[in-house]
Chain A
Amino acid sequence: MNFLLMTVVVAFRVLARNRMRSALTMLGIIIGVGAVIAMVSIGEGAKAAVQAQIASFGTNVITILPGSMTLSGVRTGHGGAVTLTIADMEELKKIPGVTYAGWGRRDAMQVVHENKNWFTTINAVSPDYLVIRAWTALNGEFFTQTEMDTAAKVVLLGNTILKNLFEPGEDPMGAMIRIKNMPFKVVGTLEAKGYDTRGNDQDDVVFIPFTTAERKIMGTKFMGSIGAGYLSAESPEQMAQVVDEVQRVLRQRHKLRPDQDDDFTVRNQIDIAKVQEGTSESMKLMLLAVASISLLVGGIGIMNILLVSVTERTREIGIRMAVGAKRRHILLQFLVEAVVLSAMGGLIGVGLGVAGAQAASNIAGWPTIISADILLIAFGFSALVGIFFGLYPANKASQLNPIEALRYE
């Protein structure tokens, strides 16, 4: 142990003597490890952000939109006819495996509190909508059935609204805000959700009871027509089956002939998640390839410079053997030099990778996650690269004939 420690000290000194050469040799490992750590951190951050966004959408959510989706993704109504109603949703709620059914419609309007006003989305919803879409009340309660039935003028505020209509520290509970000049009482505030997958602020919204909107604010062409319906399935496994059933029930209720297209669109949240997972899998493979290639190149660089070093220091090896170094001492010495080179490269690479990830989140605003695991793995691998690629030159050094080595010019 004592000997190993002293060998490490000697290795550092030898490498410090050829500072430039050592630095250039380490470069391959530095770049490899740094790039991998930066990319993994950014990748993990992006993945976590997507997962959080998916979770903020609610779990096992099936979305039903009126009108059909064309291949280009444009939704078209069918002759302006009302294609999705509360009655439809009440019926869909009976499908086995469905736990909640909710609905809503939205419009953009001005909301006013005292001398402040804010243009935002008014989302008129049924109480279960909030449950399905995983909203949590920060203060107060979701709408009650009575409030729904009586079309009460009550409102729940998203976090962004809170910031824009109220002074910091001001208690919004019970306050009156005006929508379309009608007073609404604030009965609750909602926990912030952040941005969705498309970069929209999910908290820039106020919720009012669906009935209130229908009767007093937005009006309607047809009582009970909704902008979107939402179902939540009991489990992810049941989603596909529920989607099929939704399609069947709605086609039947809408009296569609077999040759007619659906006049609604059903979207399954899991499909979106799967696409995301697929891209992160292929991203991982790419990373692995990049990491392997750069470590391989870095390792070959170390092997090359060590072979040069063994040749340069042939006489030194002979001297060491003459004064009593055993073959394993010489082997260890060069192996330690290789590992010091690669591990230092790994360490610097880890530092640069972390700095790069930090820069990406500070400057570009990307979410990054730097996990200790990946740092350790990257560092460990770089050390292993040193052992692997150092073995050949070190063995070559240790097999030198002492007399020939001493005579070497």
Chain B
Amino acid sequence: MSLIVCRDLVKTYRLGEMDVHALLGVSLTIDTGEFVAVMGASGSGKSTLMNILGCLDVPTAGTYILEGTDVSTLGENRLAEIRNSKIGFVFQNFNLIPRTTALENVQLPLFYRGIPAHEQKALALRALERVGLADRQRHHPAQLSGGQQQRVAIARALVTDPSIILADEPTGNLDSQASREIMETLTQLNREGITIILVTHEAEIAGYARRAITMKDGVILSDRNAGGVAVARVVPQEVRA
């Protein structure tokens, strides 16, 4: 069974009189343990796709099946639970809660899981150890470098032991040295079995992945594995206006 099966995903935003089509029929299958890079020009719909895959948003049309569950039929509360248990987000701008320690930031998903505080702490500390920041647990985001902040964000994403980590341009705000460290961390996590889907503009970053999807104007243009072999035939769906 595939981890992610999307069929004909459409996302349309209504801006006044005008419809903006962010996704125009995306079909995609991703298996457990894959490391996928999503590339494409600005505005091609990468973030929109990531938000839907992360259950932060729902598609206008199409189906999304995550671990056998048709997510498009679920209510908000169930989606929140899925985000909490199956998905970890890593954002370009880190998105840590300011003036809150690294440890507490990492604890946050566990907090909403309602587990006892001491268990939250223990698990969060272990996640920080995995990204090599156990000695920075009491630092606030402002007291950490960009790369360190992003590693705290990765710790927060993996603390719940998720099926997927969704990283939308995780190295977008980092220099090449920090970028390399982040990518090595993600690669390591992928080796440990976590599926990773990563949005990036840089070919070098995409090189860490074993599969690259390229988007253009809301459709998938190409979908190749590391060897350049097409993974799936890409058939953009005709969209009715």
- Report whether B108 and A315 are in contact in the complex, using a CB–CB cutoff of 8 Å: no
Cα separation A406 to B89 with both chains bound (whole Å):
12
The minimal Cβ–Cβ distance linking A238 to chain B, given in whole angstroms, is: 70
Give the number of residue pairs across the A-B interface with Cβ within 8 Å: 61
Q: Known contacts being A6-B111, A326-B80, is A319 close to B95, with CB within 8 Å? A: yes
Cα separation A322 to B97 with both chains bound (whole Å):
12
| A 305-326 binary contact with B (CB < 8 Å = 1; else 0) | 0000000000110111111111
Confirm or deny: A3 has a beta carbon within 8 angstroms of a beta carbon on chain B.
Answer: yes
Cα separation A327 to B83 with both chains bound (whole Å):
13
**Residues in chain A near residue B89, CB distance under 8 A:** 322-323
Confirm or deny: A356 has a beta carbon within 8 angstroms of a beta carbon on chain B.
Answer: no
Cα separation A17 to B98 with both chains bound (whole Å):
11
The minimal Cβ–Cβ distance linking A324 to chain B, given in whole angstroms, is: 2
Number of B residues whose C-beta is below 8 Å from A?
A: 28
Cα separation A2 to B118 with both chains bound (whole Å):
12
**Selected contact of B56 from candidates A315, A322, A327, CB within 8 Å:** A322
| A 396-409 binary contact with B (CB < 8 Å = 1; else 0) | 00000011001000
Confirm or deny: B156 has a beta carbon within 8 angstroms of a beta carbon on chain A.
Answer: yes
Number of A residues whose C-beta is below 8 Å from B?
A: 20
Could you tell me the dominant secondary structure of chain A's interface residues? helix
Cα separation A403 to B166 with both chains bound (whole Å):
14
The minimal Cβ–Cβ distance linking B54 to chain A, given in whole angstroms, is: 8
Q: Known contacts being A323-B83, A323-B109, A324-B80, is A17 close to B99, with CB within 8 Å? A: yes
The minimal Cβ–Cβ distance linking A192 to chain B, given in whole angstroms, is: 60
Q: Which residue of chain B lies nearest to A17 when distances are taken between CB atoms in the complex?
A: B99
**Selected contact of A324 from candidates B85, B96, B97, CB within 8 Å:** B85
**Residues in chain A near residue B51, CB distance under 8 A:** 403
Confirm or deny: A47 has a beta carbon within 8 angstroms of a beta carbon on chain B.
Answer: no
- Report whether B84 and A2 are in contact in the complex, using a CB–CB cutoff of 8 Å: no
Q: Which residue of chain B lies nearest to A321 when distances are taken between CB atoms in the complex?
A: B80
Confirm or deny: A329 has a beta carbon within 8 angstroms of a beta carbon on chain B.
Answer: yes
The minimal Cβ–Cβ distance linking B219 to chain A, given in whole angstroms, is: 21
| A 275-319 binary contact with B (CB < 8 Å = 1; else 0) | 000000000000000000000000000000000000000011011
Q: Which residue of chain A lies nearest to B112 when distances are taken between CB atoms in the complex?
A: A324
**Residues in chain A near residue B177, CB distance under 8 A:** none
- Report whether B80 and A325 are in contact in the complex, using a CB–CB cutoff of 8 Å: yes
Confirm or deny: B57 has a beta carbon within 8 angstroms of a beta carbon on chain A.
Answer: yes
Cα separation A373 to B117 with both chains bound (whole Å):
37
**Residues in chain A near residue B116, CB distance under 8 A:** 2
- Report whether B57 and A403 are in contact in the complex, using a CB–CB cutoff of 8 Å: yes
Confirm or deny: B114 has a beta carbon within 8 angstroms of a beta carbon on chain A.
Answer: yes
**Residues in chain B near residue A315, CB distance under 8 A:** 95
Confirm or deny: B91 has a beta carbon within 8 angstroms of a beta carbon on chain A.
Answer: yes
Q: Which residue of chain A lies nearest to B89 when distances are taken between CB atoms in the complex?
A: A322
**Residues in chain A near residue B77, CB distance under 8 A:** 326-327
**Residues in chain B near residue A2, CB distance under 8 A:** 114, 116
Q: Which residue of chain B lies nearest to A409 when distances are taken between CB atoms in the complex?
A: B93
**Residues in chain B near residue A402, CB distance under 8 A:** 56-57
Confirm or deny: B113 has a beta carbon within 8 angstroms of a beta carbon on chain A.
Answer: yes
**Residues in chain A near residue B97, CB distance under 8 A:** 316, 319-320
Q: Known contacts being A323-B156, A326-B76, A406-B95, is A6 close to B117, with CB within 8 Å? A: yes
| A 1-45 binary contact with B (CB < 8 Å = 1; else 0) | 011001000000000010000000000000000000000000000
- Report whether A329 and B112 are in contact in the complex, using a CB–CB cutoff of 8 Å: yes
- Report whether A320 and B56 are in contact in the complex, using a CB–CB cutoff of 8 Å: no
**Selected contact of A322 from candidates B81, B83, B111, CB within 8 Å:** B83
- Report whether B76 and A322 are in contact in the complex, using a CB–CB cutoff of 8 Å: no
The minimal Cβ–Cβ distance linking A231 to chain B, given in whole angstroms, is: 75
Could you tell me which residues of chain A, from 375 to 401, have a CB within 8 Å of some CB in chain B? Answer: none
The minimal Cβ–Cβ distance linking B164 to chain A, given in whole angstroms, is: 13
Cα separation A207 to B8 with both chains bound (whole Å):
108
- Report whether B84 and A3 are in contact in the complex, using a CB–CB cutoff of 8 Å: no
The minimal Cβ–Cβ distance linking A408 to chain B, given in whole angstroms, is: 11
Cα separation A93 to B10 with both chains bound (whole Å):
103
**Residues in chain A near residue B56, CB distance under 8 A:** 321-322, 402-403, 406
**Residues in chain B near residue A324, CB distance under 8 A:** 80-81, 83-85, 109, 112-113, 160
**Residues in chain A near residue B80, CB distance under 8 A:** 321, 324-327
Q: Which residue of chain A lies nearest to B76 when distances are taken between CB atoms in the complex?
A: A327
**Residues in chain B near residue A322, CB distance under 8 A:** 54, 56, 83, 89, 95
**Residues in chain A near residue B112, CB distance under 8 A:** 320, 323-326, 329
Apart from A323-B83, A324-B84, A324-B109, what are 16 other A-B pairs with CB-CB below 8 Å?
A6-B111, A17-B99, A315-B95, A316-B97, A316-B98, A319-B108, A321-B83, A322-B83, A322-B89, A324-B112, A325-B80, A326-B77, A326-B112, A327-B80, A329-B112, A406-B91
6 A/B residue pairs, CB under 8 Å, sorted by A: A3-B114, A6-B117, A319-B108, A321-B56, A403-B57, A406-B95
Residues of B within 8 A of A (CB): 51, 54, 56-57, 76-77, 80-81, 83-85, 89, 91, 95-99, 108-109, 111-114, 116-117, 156, 160
Residues of A within 8 A of B (CB): 2-3, 6, 17, 315-316, 318-327, 329, 402-403, 406
The 10 closest A-B pairs by CB, nearest first: A324-B84, A323-B109, A324-B112, A326-B80, A324-B83, A325-B112, A319-B95, A3-B114, A402-B56, A316-B97
